[in-house]
Structure 1
């Protein structure tokens, strides 16, 4: 590693952290009504908002749908190093990163997605957006998105490895949430999850109806605790009346 690389690592990351802190300071001085949902999320702690919402003793059994490169898995492990985490990542390259990153820990990496039914699907891959939903196009690019075949298991098949009670489910799957949430509800799995964090994505003209349908499913068993619209929202299992 050269001097330039060392400088970039030591000072580049520090500069990025400083810029984020400065931006957050400005956001805290801005009236809430003038902030977008993503600005409010950043002001309120960004991803730490998710992890701080659940007590450590309620982070024992965790499902992460959309493992990507493992930052969310790492966040839940930091919350409870003894947590049993299962993460689902159908893109093989990312699943390999997860396997390498969490080798030797109590993290089960499943190199498939979870949906309504089992089978092979075609995913588009562009930058960091990977999705099987036709409405997701990824960031603008001069090159068309690549396509890959990935494997999906049905909720019924994947759910055989799940405990009867799940503490946390995190769902960030680029439009696949509109299939997964109804499938979880239909299989009776949604009501077995105490804390659910979901990021809804824009998939085109049907987005509003898809979000409404998904929230209706969640509302049958959960209460919405907080919501940064189309960024992240948190649902907690309703207490028995």
Structure 2
């Protein structure tokens, strides 16, 4: 039934084919393991987790780099509260109960667990704060970010350009990002971001609209 549903969706929306092909390759290559191995991080790395949810990815990083200084961003109030309780007393882990974006604002989130979004289907009824990238980094002395993960359900189309335009992206050694394909127009948006990002970073591997990794050029 699931295969039939995907087939019908792809036939109705042929622009989604790039995602379905990439996801098939992702599963074939067992590429999810690329998001689970971080033993190559330097001592005491600074790591940003955009889209913290329940902290599973943070825990994976800490298993390989227990001395990492983690910054977890989770705007959904219920998930942020659970993260704060989970990491209470761990001074190297900072939970930020807001999103970062191009400007200070608020957004309406849907309540769909790890798929909660302000972009898909027009968002929802849960109000969450957005802090401006520029203001956050002016208030926090963070000269280098060795690793950044971004899975924020469409928010990447606002956040990544803000990080690039502010110059913060030049501090990021490795970026792992999931671009989302909620609309056909997102294909051009992703292309534009990738083109700008390529001025400072190289794409190490890519499964379009599933996951991809960028590394700062040396």
TM range (shorter): 0.7 to 0.9
| CA 1:71–1:183: 2 relative to 1, 3 Å | same
Query: Hey, what does 2:171 align to over in structure 1?
Result: 192
SS at match of 1:63: strand
How many pairs are equivalent?
A: 197
Deviates more, 1:105-114 or 1:50-59: 50-59
Query: Hey, what does 1:222 align to over in structure 2?
Result: 201
Query: Hey, what does 1:137 align to over in structure 2?
Result: 121
> Residues 108 and 124 of structure 2 are in contact (CA less than 8 Å); yes or no, is this contact kept in structure 1?
no
| CA 1:220–1:48: 2 relative to 1, 3 Å | same
Please tell me whether residue 70 in structure 1 is matched to residue 55 in structure 2: yes
Distance, in Å, in 2 between the alignment partners of 1:120 and 1:128 is 19
Deviation at 1:46, TM superposition (A): 4.4
SS at match of 1:230: coil
Deviation at 1:146, TM superposition (A): 4.4
Please tell me whether residue 92 in structure 1 is matched to residue 77 in structure 2: yes
Query: Hey, what does 2:13 align to over in structure 1?
Result: none
Q: Which runs of 5+ in 1 are unaligned?
A: 1-34, 139-144
Query: Hey, what does 2:129 align to over in structure 1?
Result: 151
Query: Hey, what does 1:4 align to over in structure 2?
Result: none
Matches within 5 A, 1:47-86: 47-52=32-37, 55-57=40-42, 60-86=45-71
Query: Hey, what does 1:15 align to over in structure 2?
Result: none
SS at match of 1:57: coil
Aligned counterpart for 2:161 among listed residues 182, 193, 202: 182
Matches within 5 A, 1:1-80: 36-52=21-37, 55-57=40-42, 60-80=45-65
Distance, in Å, in 2 between the alignment partners of 1:167 and 1:154 is 21
Deviates more, 1:40-49 or 1:118-127: 40-49
Aligned counterpart for 2:112 among listed residues 114, 120, 126: 126
Deviation at 1:117, TM superposition (A): 0.3
| CA 1:220–1:122: 2 relative to 1, 3 Å | same
**Greater relative contact order, per chain length (Cα 8 Å cut-off, separation 6+):** 2
Aligned counterpart for 1:231 among listed residues 204, 210, 217: 210
| CA 1:208–1:58: 2 relative to 1, 3 Å | farther
Distance, in Å, in 1 between the alignment partners of 2:85 and 2:79 is 10
Distance, in Å, in 2 between the alignment partners of 1:91 and 1:175 is 14
| CA 1:45–1:223: 2 relative to 1, 3 Å | same
Q: Which runs of 5+ in 2 are unaligned?
A: 1-19
Compare CA radii of gyration and give the structure with the larger one. 1
> Residues 205 and 212 of structure 2 are in contact (CA less than 8 Å); yes or no, is this contact kept in structure 1?
yes
Distance, in Å, in 2 between the alignment partners of 1:229 and 1:178 is 14
> Residues 119 and 152 of structure 1 are in contact (CA less than 8 Å); yes or no, is this contact kept in structure 2?
yes
Query: Hey, what does 2:11 align to over in structure 1?
Result: none
